[in-house]
Amino acid sequence: MIYIKTAEEIEGMRKACELVSLTLAEVAKWVTPGVTTRKLDNVAREFILDNGGKPACLGYQGFPGTLCIEVNETVVHGFPSGYALKEGDIVGTDCVVELNGFHGDSCYTFPIGEIDEKVRKLLVTTKESLYIGIETALAGKRIGDISNAIQTFCEKAGYSVVREMCGHGIGKSMHEEPEVPNFGRRGIGPVLKPGMCIAIEPMINMGSKNVVIERNGWECRTRDRRPSAHYEHTILITESEPEILTTFKYIEEVLGPERMI
């Protein structure tokens, strides 16, 4: 069943989403060539704990990080490690914070130093597709309308949409109904209603849509090892425009116009 949040619950969601947004901005301060992904994970965990939150991914079904780390061909659920980011890499940092029983979920893919122009285009298009999905999330529309808007936009740009992973409802649990695929037909799926909270998270590949799960059962990469991008916001369906509960504003203040996507 899909929860309709009360005004009080929505306030809780706003606060959790603010904290995850600030956490990713803290991470942004450290995203430079030479930094290890484990360092980024430590920064995120300490910031969340210092601000009264819980790192919701850490220990979730055994996941070993506060952040999911997505370097280059890693699509989702990468582990923090001793890998040092290098010029030309991209890294997605996907984070879920629990604060006072509510969850905020967001992801940003960062360029490391100068990146290939083709890779930058993949990042820009993926981020744009997130906002196109969000614009579509109006009360009375259906989940499939969001899915189709994202898929159409990304495929027109020449990219492919990962099928195995989806966005999701979010609230007192990190993953709630409904599933929010990034591909599919218009007019299908649950009807959107004011008070629903969903996380929209396009995962878009430069090459083919096929992915492989590593032996550890978590880390997911593109089969052709070409890059993949991922941006995510938690949003609230309202009577009018959707309210974007997470924000990239703090991240982009850190990055400045040169480095933001």
Interacting residues toward ligand MF3 by CB under 6 A: 57, 60, 63, 68, 77, 94, 96, 105, 199, 201
Neighbours of 4 (CB within 10 A): 14
Residue reference for tokens 């990962």:
162
Q: Whole-number minimum distance, CB 19 to Co ion, in Å?
A: 15
Query: Does 18 engage in binding with Co ion (CB under 5 A)?
Result: no
The structure tokens listed for 87 are 């010029």
Q: Please report, as residue ranges, which positions from 161 to 220 form the binding site for Co ion (by CB under 5 A).
A: 199, 201
Q: How many CA atoms lie within 13 A of 156 on its CB side?
A: 9
* Whole-angstrom distance, CA of residue 8 vs CA of residue 57: 24
3-state secondary structure of 176: strand
Binding of Co ion by 105 (CB under 5 A) = yes
Q: How far is the CB of 232 from ligand MF3 (least distance, A)?
A: 6
Looking at the Cβ atoms of 63 and 131, the one nearer to ligand MF3 is: 63
Residue 73 near which of Co ion, ligand MF3, none (CB within 5-8 Å, type-dependent): none
89 binds, among Co ion, ligand MF3, none (CB under 5 to 8 A by kind): none
Instruction: Report yes or no: 65 and 27 within 8 Å, Cβ to Cβ.
Output: no
The minimum distance between CB 105 and Co ion, in angstroms, equals: 4
> Is there a contact between 94 and 174 (Cβ–Cβ < 8 Å)?
no
* Interface residues toward Co ion, by CB under 5 A: 105, 199, 201
